[in-house]
Amino acid sequence: MRRPARAAAAMLTALSMLLLTACGPGQEGSDPGAGADLPPLSELEASQPAKEITGPSTALLTDRHIEPVDTDEKPQLPATVVSHVRSGDTKVTVTDTSRIVAFDMAGSIAASLWGLGLGDQLVARDVSTDFPGAEDLPLITAEGHAVNAESVMAQKPTVIITDGSMGPRDVVEQLADTGVPVIFLENDASFEGAAQLARDVGAAVGLPQSGQALADRIEADVEAATAEVERFVPQQESDRLRMVFLYLRGNSGVYYLFADDSGVGDLVGALGGVNVANEMGWKGMQPLTDEALVKAKPDLILVMTHGLESTGGVDGLLAEKPAIALTPAGQSKRFVDMSDGDVLSFGPRSAGVVEALARAIYVPEAQE
């Protein structure tokens, strides 16, 4: 069953506000690139038990491209869909998809549009949308994840699609007053949510069959990637890695624990780890406390690349937060970082994210 998307959207909105205060321009998102030249997970074998591996590693996508689904479907316009605005659900009709502006915290909507074959109709991007082919589009976000309404309208959009995770939301909702259809979609940070987003985006642009085809592909790819990971997962749960995800912005003194609502639960499950956040009863995101982390006893800590860099790397983080050094992960320096724009970007690249993290966790020597 799909998790309550409105609760997830509320968490993302809170996170966006956190990001606006914690980040300067250009600090979010991943470094543009096609991907890393690394062997696929299917060709690798673990050289030692997961709990005996020490030291940090970086998860790298082998391919950051998004391949459009291959269908012969023609857009069925006008398309009428439900937009989830704060004042209540309302119906919005889309008659023209020639100039689309899409934005959300993880760039998932733009990625879904690209997967539907509408890359040529995207006329702008948010800071998280930097996959190959999209990185040169005009940027309509500033100061981290703040939407610049003037920049949006300068692109003369025929439709605007978002999920409410970027703001100020009042400004975004007011864009509808210009006469441009503005659609707020529910966007659950999970693999199931990624498939549903593909369907919802497809419906919004008059390509319901393509949306279903993209959803099917996402589900199949994630299932295949998870099956590959299972080869590395210890049979005994006591031998499995206890994983936790930390959101770090050391330059602003921001340290948060992320729980299932951010998609961490799906990632940890696919990676064969023990979900510490669920075990500890954490919800959404909460400030990192020494007591909570020491009690959690994580074997491995997942972080965003720029976040770890902002603390001065692993050594800087351990010096700033000595309690982390008391955990098994801190003692073995088992940190796995991944590009900010990739690690929680549920969408067409979800399977690649799982594979990249698994390679860094279970076969880190392959990264070298």
- pLDDT of 152 reads 95
Q: Which domains are delineated in the chain?
A: 24-64+221-367 (3.40.50.1980), 79-219 (3.40.50.1980)
Residue written as token pair 């459009």:
68
Tens digit of each residue's pLDDT (9 = 90 or more) over 167-226: 888 888 889 899 999 999 999 989 999 999 999 999 999 999 999 999 999 999 999 999
Mean pLDDT of 30-58: 86
Provide the residue type at 80 as one letter.
Answer: T
Percent of the chain at pLDDT > 70 equals 90
| pLDDT for 144 | 63
Smallest CA-to-CA distance from 229 within 256, 266, 193 is with 266
Mean pLDDT taken over the chain: 89
Mean pLDDT within 306-311: 94
Ramachandran area for residue 24 (φ above 0: left; ψ -120 to 50: alpha; else beta): beta
Q: 193 is written with which tokens?
A: 């949510």
Residue 8's pLDDT band, with cuts at 50, 70 and 90, is very low
Q: Is the pLDDT at 96 greater than 80, yes or no?
A: yes
Note the pTM of the prediction, 2 decimals. Answer: 0.90
291 is written with which tokens?
Answer: 């007591």
Q: How confident is the model at residue 4 (pLDDT cuts 50, 70, 90)?
A: very low
Q: Which of 218, 206, 189, 169 is nearest to 69 (CA)?
A: 218
Residues 88, 177: contact at Cβ < 8 Å? no
Q: What is the pLDDT of residue 25?
A: 35
- Mean pLDDT for 91-110 is 96
The answer, yes or no, to whether residue 33 has pLDDT greater than 90, is no
Question: Band of the pLDDT at 58, cuts 50, 70, 90?
Answer: very high
Written as one letter, the residue type at 123 is V
Other beta carbons within 10 angstroms of residue 273's beta carbon come to 23
Tell me the average pLDDT across 276-301: 90
Tokens 């007011």 sit on residue: 174
Read off the pLDDT band of 2 (50, 70, 90): very low
Secondary structure (3-state) at 246: strand
E-only strand ranges, 38-113: 57-59, 79-85, 88-94, 100-103
Q: Is the pLDDT of residue 49 over 50?
A: yes
pLDDT tens digits for 158-175? 999 999 888 888 888 889
| pLDDT value at residue 286 | 85
Asked if residue 14 has pLDDT above 50, the reply is no
What is the sign of the dihedral through the CA atoms of 350, 353, 357 and 360?
A: positive
